[in-house]
Chain A
Amino acid sequence: MLTYIARRLLFLPIVLIGVTLLVFVAMSFLSPYQLVSSYIKSPEELKNQSLDDLVRKYGLNQPAHLRYISWMKKLLRGDLGYSVSANMRVTEAIAKRFPATIELALFSIIPVVLGGIWLGTISAKHYNRPLDHISRTFAIIGWSLPDFVFGLIMLMIFYGVLGWFPPGRLSMWADTIVLTGDFIRYTGMNTVDSLLNGRLDIFWDAIRHLVAPIITLAYLWWAFLLRITRSSMLEVMNKDYVRTARAKGLTEKIVVNRHVRRNAMIPVATVSGSMVLGLLGGVVIVETVFDYKGIGLLTATGAQQLDYTLILGTTLFYGLLLVATNLVVDVLYAVIDPRVRLE
């Protein structure tokens, strides 16, 4: 397994160079005056602006390959450049936004996966019976709803009407403490940092801000996991060894939990892996609706504004994330199913 991991890691730089090269080639089709739009973001900012001066100042008139080489040189020094849309260096932007996304992903993945598997199991156990239909309908409604709409409904109910779960990552009083007081940022994750700082009030506030996005994400993703779990379980339920387990007189609970569910988990693990990746990559719409400033919103804003340093930096980062997550999922296969051997 170690050889396998080492080999995959050796391919990492090639994958990353390939990905960034691809982005650079795509960006090279844009003229310098299209790229300068990241500095002049709207017609209202077009005041006495000398486009040529801006193009020259930011080196946008250089040939794409020279810009790529210059970018690579900086990269080797650990500098991903300055993002004009984020108003900070790309490394800093990623470092500040990614913890927010990790926090949301960590808190979301448990209800998403457990809920999805639970619904899938119920559906499979009650195949073609009312409970199967109900759980599938419930989940499919979630899958069919645009995340924007469902997010707004959640915000309307839980913030607008009940006042429970506000948008953003922290309330303003908490923000003031976190940003200006003696509060130490260890991880960038508000829940973790508040506990490490002994501030339960801020911890509780951070949780309040996480609930609505988590509910939204969970409901939207359950149908996906339900479908995979259900079909996988139905397939396993027809296997000989399950029939044998039942013939041995084991209770249905033991048959399902020990023999069926565990064996049905491989495709679920694959899907969960890509789900984690999706969550870590940021969920733009949910982040927009709930004003949850994570990496998805950062990337989307950068892309909209043709902020090519940010686009390249986040692409590189996503590439790294993708390879790492896939590697973890592959290793998990072997853990879940001892028949799988990594070579």
Chain B
Amino acid sequence: MKTKSLVLLVVLLVVSSSASVFAAPFDPDTFVYVGGAGGPHTLDPAAAYDTASGEVIHQVYDNLFEYVGGNLDEIGPQIATAVPTVANGLMSVDGRTIRVPIRKGVKFHNGAELTPEDVRYSFIRGMLADTAGGPMWMFFEPLLGVQTMAEVIEMAGGSGDFAEISEVDPAILRKAHDLVAATIEVDGDDLVFHLVDAYPPFINILTKGGSWASILNKDWMVANGAWDGNPETWSNWYDVAVEEMTAYERANGTGPFKLTVWDKSGGQVILSRFDDYWQGPAKIKTAFIKYISELSTRQLMLRAGDADAIYVGQEDLPQTRLLPDVKVVEGLPQITNTVLFYSFTIPVQGNEDLVGSGKLDGKGIPSDFFADVDVRKAFNYSFDYQAFLEEVAHGAGVTPKGPIPQSLPYVNPDQEYYTHDLTKAEEHFKKAFGGELWEKGFEVGIVYNTGNNTRKTALEILEFNIESINPKFKVNVIGLEWATVLDKLRSASLPVFVMGWLMDFPDTHNFAVPFMHSTGTFAGYCGQGLIDLAKAEFDELVDAGIKATDPVEREAIYYELQKRYVDLAVGMPFMEATTHRVMRDWVQGFVYSPAYSANYDFYTVYKVQK
């Protein structure tokens, strides 16, 4: 017994004394960012359209332009040598021809020198590869006035509704290729874009932060199995599964970091410094992006110094602020909007859990419940915006004045918006359905996706206020799994739902389309009623807004769009959230830009021991 105790004591002493050996030493050459669950979807810029993918692509590739210091108001050249404007003669007066001089002496990670043809290939190949649900619509829209490659095939005389692209006549495929190929040409050391119409934010689409506009090395891509530029064969690479795309898990960019490995099973990406980077090497030699779902584990890693920065959700920020040697940078502006949507035409059959009886009888709602503008206005007046902002969002954001975030240009600062006013809500409820609604009451299910407690609380605020107006009003807050939400969105079966939109590029148009256009992302989820309304009230103005090159004209258009949206109470925008970053206090050189998918630009960060 004594021997056993002695052995145990010795082991304990040895282990205790070696605690200092285990402690993570400060390493100024390595930066570790630990994100939440998940990871990149793909590293191919032509298909990547999520922030985790964009985070890696940001470090590995360059774009033609960049936001100077992350500031959205100032665009500077990156791989280009100048930013085209009408004033410097690189943009035609009608905005349809844009010439971009390409920088010389820029090297790819494999040592090859970048040429204008690499830039052209990157964009043409991206469009021809157009993956379902991918980001290339941002090229199609300005360059060809369509949204997808299938629509280009239609332009070429084919049918866009094909099951397999191999069914399409090769002559039409060739013509479709030519249409795409003609949009960008190489002219000496310049690249020339031919736009179908003026498109003011086109330069933004090509600017750093837009992973879709990353520049690839043509020869390297072709050597690794990508399309070789042959106009007859492009369809072999059209809309293939993302994992079959050439740059899915390998990369050869001109960015400050090389992709060392994307360790999918280990949930991490390792990047190493590119010493020949044309702007000079980064201060950090190695960067890790790790994906760990458990917050406590991330926090412990930050405390131990194994992580330099971690992801923390807004709701967990209070406890994180208490961690020693950690700095929390808060109030970082985002260009985003969270909106409560109403479905104008709700299917009744099979949707009883949300619409009850499907009639205006106090036990449900009719299909056209939210088609009545007074119902929508009453809902909008019932929400306590201030309480939500202060008590739920902990002040991390502002209340919007419409669907366009206030930090974008052409937002009317004097636009009147809804406030929490139960008297006005009552007035509108009394007017709705000719007074019948007030007499009979209603019962409706309003939905959030489970796990999103902020949205749940927002809906509970609405529930509480509406039910306090009339005892015959019954609102049920229902949590559904994301898969079910998606299914019901597709059939526009959700009477009320909450959804956010984070910008692709910082322009008003990027919010006007999804929120107001009849072909926008959200119109389809809100029923035919909203599509019809959008066609009548918004489409013409939205289309005019993007074609207008005169800022005064654009301002007038977008002011009018916002006014109509608010007057018609199409939805209830209720939160423009700010964001934050949590890092060790030794992290320096942090540059933030709302345009970046990357939480940290590894090129600028470095570490100084305190």
**Residues of chain A at the chain B interface (Cβ within 8 Å):** 30-31, 33-37, 39-51, 53-54, 56-57, 82, 86-88, 93, 96-97, 152, 155-156, 159-160, 162-164, 166-167, 169, 171-172, 175-176, 179-180, 208, 288-291, 293, 301, 306
Contact = CB atoms under 8 A, between A and B. Distances in A.
B296 A289 contact: yes
B294 A57 contact: no
B486 A51 contact: yes
Contacts of A46: 486, 489, 499, 521
B50 interface: yes
Contacts of A180: 260-261, 270
A290 B263 contact: no
Given A50-B133, A160-B303, A293-B266, A34 B487 contact: yes
Q: Nearest 3 CB-CB pairs, A to B?
A: A96-B265, A37-B483, A53-B132
A49 B132 CA distance: 7
A306 B484 CA distance: 11
A171 B288 CA distance: 12
Contacts of B521: 46-49
Contacts of B30: 172
Given A163-B24, A166-B306, A172-B288, A288 B261 contact: no
A169 B263 CA distance: 13
B133 A54 contact: yes
B398 interface: no
A291 to B, nearest CB: 5
Given A48-B137, A167-B297, 14 more contacts: A39-B133, A43-B449, A43-B485, A44-B500, A47-B501, A57-B132, A88-B264, A93-B265, A162-B22, A163-B22, A171-B306, A175-B268, A289-B297, A293-B265
B265 A167 contact: no
Interface in B1-34: 15, 19, 22-24, 30, 32
B267 to A, nearest CB: 6
B interface majority secondary structure? mixed
A288 B303 contact: no
B32 A172 contact: yes
B133 A49 contact: yes
B293 interface: yes
A179 B261 contact: yes
B372 to A, nearest CB: 26
Contacts of A179: 260-261, 263, 266, 270
Contacts of A93: 265
Contacts of B487: 31, 33-34
B124 to A, nearest CB: 20
Contacts of A96: 264-265
Nearest to B272: A180
Given A57-B239, A175-B268, A179-B266, A163 B39 contact: no
Contacts of A156: 296, 300
Nearest to B133: A49
A162 to B, nearest CB: 6
A188 to B, nearest CB: 9
B38 interface: yes
A172 B261 CA distance: 13
Nearest to A35: B483
A105 B362 CA distance: 58
Contacts of B286: 176
A41 B38 CA distance: 9
B292 interface: yes
A54 B15 CA distance: 54
Interface string B125-148: 000000011010100000000010
